[in-house]
Every structure is written in C-alpha cells, then in structure tokens.
Structure 1
C-alpha cells in the first residue's frame, strides 16, 4: 500500500497518508463524501438506516494530520459477460476529495492504492458510474455500456393490442418491498452483459431508504405463470403550475427489471395505465429496449438522451478476455498497453475459441481503457479506430474484431451504486 506522500500545487505542499480506513472512520469518511457531492452531513437517523451500506472493508482514505481529505470505496459483487458467465468484479462507489484538497494528487494516490488492492485480491474487472466522465479514463476505465433516457407522454401513449403481456401486477407495501424485491432480483438473474449482482449491503442505501421514506416511491410486482417475474420502483412527482393547473403528475421510473418480454411489457402497461399522469420518465434504460415500437404510436415515446452508464476497467486482462465468449470470426491479435498495471501490457489473441497471451505480431493496438469500451460489446472496433482509440496495423482485423466482440443484447448495468 502507498505510504506517506507529498503533492503540491502553486507552491503549496500537502502531505497526506493513503491507507485503509478503520471502523471508527466510517462515518467521518461518509460525511466527507457527502460534502464532496454537495450533500449535507448524515443525520443520526439517516446514518442508523444506511450505515450498514458503508462498511470499512475495501475503502481507502487520504488523511492529513489525522483528518480525512479523500475517500475511495468499492464492494465485491459479480458481473455478467458475453456467454452467460459471471465474473467477480469490484463495484467502485463513493469517490470524493475535500474541496480544498483537489488537484494535488490525492485522488491519483487513492486510486493507485485501490487498483493495487484489486490486483492483490485477484479481481479481473472493476466497474463504476462516472459522475465526471473526464476523470476515469486516466485510471484505465472505459465507457462500456450506455443507457437512454425515455420520456413517454400520457394519456396518449398505450401499448399496441398485439404486445403480449398477461399475468397480474400488484402494488407492494414498503415492508413487502424491502422483504421481497432482493430475492426477486436474484431470481430474474443477470441476463445481459454488464448487469451486476446486488449484495446484501446494497439494499439499505439504494432501495430500502427510497421505498420506506415518505417521498412518493412505490413498488409494483408482476406475476406470470411461474410466479413473480418482474418489478418496478417509481416515484410520483407533482408537475402542476400556475400556467398548467390541470397537468398530471410525472412517474419517474427508478428501477425496472423483468425476466422476459411479457413481464417487461406488463410493467410498462401498468405504468401507462396510472391515472392522473401526464408523463412517464425513465433514466438509464437499455439502449435497445423496444418501448417505442410497443406503442400504438411510437412518437409518444421519445429518447431524450443517450448517456454513459457503466464504466469498466480490466484489472487482469488475460483473465477478463478468457472469461467471455466471442462470435464466429477469425482470431485477432491485440496489443494492450496498461500504464498503471504494466503486467497487463502485452499481446493477446482473441478468437471464437477464447483468448490467450501470444508472441504473435499485433493487428490492433489499444490502451486498457479502450479495451474496457470494447469488452462488453457496446462499441465496435471500427468505430473506436475511426476516432483514433485503436491503432490499426492490419485493416482486415477490424471487421473480425467487430464480429468477435459484438453481443446480441446491448450491454446494460441497470443498478445504481
């Protein structure tokens, strides 16, 4: 682990230590993070509800004179990759530096300590959601999955009569939602590349506090022939104004997962049937979710924006490449450069039979963050080469790489952390 370090800016020096935090430092580092994200300190009541989601394990803090000035955090879970396999992954969350200590090397030192920890523990991948996308490329993370923001106008939008739904939808009480939804998420499973598991510590902060609070969140579950197979968590937001006194509420979809198309369609049918609603909004939905063509008039479902969703960092390139499957095409030799984890730097042959290190000449050369963009299948190698992210040494390899890495379903995470 890094020891005492010094960094300076404009002649001023900041001496700090980077080390794992202790149990006694959990709340002070949590408050530091909230201040860095422009949120108030946690009240005693809030901390009592969500503190279990902020354990000391896998957190590195930067400390100056014993006080925290920075924090990076992660938790261990699993991620789905092409072919249906799941891999261990570090989900990076809670990254922040005190406002008066930014741009002095604090973040770089903490991220280096965190990466060293991932390597030591044998994790092949790390993922995160980026609050500021320009930050994480220099640490080897690439934008690996996108999500779209949907806006559906009501009451005009309705599902086409030929869209199969069936089953029943029921609303849960907050107590039922806290008890039932974790098991339902596990039963639905990680069926797309990029989806991640939700360990026990995830739920109090990211789910329970929303459905237990008096802030308008509701939870609905779909039941099909084999039992519960989908759920949606949504909030009701008032939108009336002086100029629009009769305007209906907005349903803000927070979390929607289903085991198949029929359950997904039934949940959307339910959302579009709620009375006194003028609009349904949903953020970070799969880019290939076909809601528009499920409607009688596709114009009532608009994609407002497409955003970066999941960022991915190969920690062990050989293990990560070997773990996923590839489509039928001739092998391609990649030259990967990893400046922070030089053990990853080397040549890798990727083909339908798997991936392995090789001494063969490289056909395509890329940095590890670009490999992160390619890994789940979101971006085509041809596209990345066109914008200069891939150095092409054999043009014929681009088409083969496009076919090898593509996936049937667009990658999607679907879990906030």
Structure 2
C-alpha cells in the first residue's frame, strides 16, 4: 500500500471526509441540500484524517462536551462521534494511526476522559476503551399495560409543534441536567443532525413535554411505526421512543402514562433505556414490559487516569492500590491508591492490576471488580482487595448515557 499521511482535517476537507464517513457506514450519498443543513455540525476542529495521494481514506472525529461522573462532578469529555475507514483500505493500520493521533491530541489538551458508541465492540478495547454503561431495549404491550394506582402522578403533558420542538427541547435538556453517571452535555453542534432533523418540519417524530408545578420537567421524542400487513391489517402502530428524559419520578411516570394512553397502538418500544429503569414495577402486571435486549452503550477511555480517578467519589471502604497499564498513553501506566478521600499516584504495592480499558469498565460503576476479576480482566494480587474495590466503585443508580452521537 502507498504510504499515507495522518493529520488534522482542514476546512476544505470537511465535505470529503463527511462523504467518506457516510460511505464507510453504508449511508446514502449526501446531497448538496443535506450538506447545507448538516455541514455546520461537521466542523474541521478535532478531526483527524488519513490521506492517500491527497484523498481521505480514513476519518476520526470528536466534539468537546462534559460527562457526569459518580458523585455529580462534570468532567471535560472528548465524545468520539465519527470513525470510518474506506472499505478498500481496512486492516492496514489506518484506524490504529487515527486513534493514536486522536488520543495524543486529547492528552495534549488535558482532556481526562474520552467516550464513544461502538458500532463494532471488538475494535475499541485495544485502544483503551471499555464498555462502561449498558442499556436495555424494552417493549410494553398495549392496551394491556396499565400503571398501578400508586405510581406518582401530577402535572400535565402537551404535544409540541415541530417548530416548538426544535426551539424548546435543548433548553429543557439542560434544565433537567445530568442525573446519572455517564450522561453528557449536548453542545450546540449536536442538535441539528441528531435532534432537529427528526422533530423539525421535515421530520417524522413527535415531541411531548411534561410540566409540573415548577414548569417543564421532562420530554419524550417518539416515532410511529405502522405494523399493519396484508395478513394482519388491524395491527396497531408501535410507538418507537427515541429520547426520553425527566427531572423527577413524577415527570417520568407522566411521560410513560402518556405513551401508554395513545390510542390505536399495540406496543411502545424503547431502546437505550437505563438498565435499572423501574418501568416494569410501575405496571399492574410487570410481564407486560419485556426486556428484549441488554447491550453495550457507552464506551469510556481514561485519558488522564490520575485526574479521572480523583474526580469521582467513592463509597466507604479501605483504600485499594490499582496497577494500571496503558499501552498507548504510557504516562498513565503506574500505581494509584483509591479510597473514600480520592485517588493519588503511589509507589505502594498493587492489590489489583488491570489494563486501562478495564478501568474504563469499572469507572462508572456498571461492572464490579468481582465480575471483572472472574472474567480475567483484573489480576488479583490481594484477594481481600476485590470486595473493597466493589464497595468503593459501586453506585446507587446504574450509569447511563442516553445521548446518541
């Protein structure tokens, strides 16, 4: 293969690299009309391309945002949102070169964490990303499903026009806030391509907002899928939930109550929901809410291990010393004492040893140290330390991202 160059993308290369990503992900070609609408959400900043004879053959992209970590702090995050290699140039080191350049740039800028949604989960572990938050797909049968009479109630739900949905939901998302570890802030460039095109005048999705005593406190974005066939012409529609966020249990219950009240619907289908969401417990018969799948959601990569470990809180237990190995960002390799008072580098002997991708799995509380040790991802040097690490890293609520990017 001809030698290739890895370098930042220039302004003139935004459209060619966007087209390349689309082809790599098997999307339709981008028309001039579509580019005029989405181009501003594809800035040259924080993009690296691999070029061969001046043409892009690989691309990786990210945008800066913030992520909630256990304890409530919001850390700077590099959200990796566009990775692709031309089909005739895969498995030749292109992706490895891209990821190395991107991670070096994150480290140089002092970004403590990076995250992505993995289209192919086997790819990203070797670059230090670990499966840090899971999500479930749930399907609720209609009209059988009913909320029991002790489910919190109050407030009202109203449907928005497409123009209102584009205008109002970004501010409402910010007001609701990052209520779980793993949730991220949504910068201005996120909304046009990931929200507006679905809910705006040219989109097919519906938006409903819940309002409580203090104003709007939750919303849902959903689409209606027609399931009628020649063999079953009376089949009801399925409401397919794309985005649902609520500031409190009353708002969450109000939105689900609304979804389950829509007429001529046979089911409500929601993907990427928190694994501990209590929807089934809200129903008089929990069997009407079936979990169809549990899948990896957010993949997390500690870029500055010391800063990331010290930023989150830990439960009460004796400290544990972790030996972390990072084969790409060598400065992270070392020993870290983690305890209720925070984390720091240390020269003390390690109790547990793990690679940086496994630290990403442990960090938000989705996986226990016990499970990771049983899976062979954590080397146990002091058996008593496993239970201590379980207690230190566990979280009351399951981590969840809830944002497509």
Q: How many angstroms apart in 2 are the aligned matches of 1:316 and 1:83?
A: 18
Query: Where does the alignment leave 5 or more consecutive residues of structure 1 unmatched?
Result: 1-12
Partner of 1:6: none
Q: Check whether the contact 1:15–1:64 (CA below 8 A) recurs between aligned residues.
A: yes
Q: Does 1:45 align with 2:33?
A: yes
Partner of 1:395: 383
Partner of 2:269: 281
Q: Does 1:332 align with 2:328?
A: no
Shift of 1:46: 1.1
Shift of 1:216: 2.7
Shift of 1:41: 1.4
Q: Deviations over 1:344-372 (max 9, x none)?
A: 00000000010000000000000000000
Q: Check whether the contact 1:365–1:392 (CA below 8 A) recurs between aligned residues.
A: yes
Q: Does 1:138 align with 2:126?
A: yes
Partner of 2:140: 152
Partner of 1:180: 168
Say which SS state the counterpart of residue 14 (structure 1) adopts: coil
Query: Where does the alignment leave 5 or more consecutive residues of structure 2 unmatched?
Result: none
Say which SS state the counterpart of residue 95 (structure 2) adopts: helix
Q: CA RMSD in A?
A: 0.7
Q: Deviations over 1:76-96 (max 9, x none)?
A: 000000111000000001100
Partner of 2:51: 63
**Greater than 2 Å deviation, 4+ residue runs:** 213-216
Partner of 1:9: none
Q: How many angstroms apart in 1 are the aligned matches of 2:126 and 2:108?
A: 21
Q: How many angstroms apart in 1 are the aligned matches of 2:312 and 2:241?
A: 31
Q: Check whether the contact 1:18–1:62 (CA below 8 A) recurs between aligned residues.
A: yes
Q: Check whether the contact 2:197–2:203 (CA below 8 A) recurs between aligned residues.
A: no
Task: After superposing the two structures, state which structure 1 stretch, 205-214 or 76-85, moved more.
Answer: 205-214
Q: How many angstroms apart in 2 are the aligned matches of 1:41 and 1:213?
A: 22
Task: After superposing the two structures, state which structure 1 stretch, 37-46 or 373-382, moved more.
Answer: 37-46
TM-score by length of 1: 0.96
Q: How many angstroms apart in 1 are the aligned matches of 2:222 and 2:34?
A: 21
Q: Check whether the contact 1:14–1:104 (CA below 8 A) recurs between aligned residues.
A: no
Q: Check whether the contact 1:215–1:235 (CA below 8 A) recurs between aligned residues.
A: no
Partner of 2:282: 294
TM-score by length of 2: 0.99
The within-5 A match list for 1:308-327 is 308-327=296-315
Partner of 1:16: 4
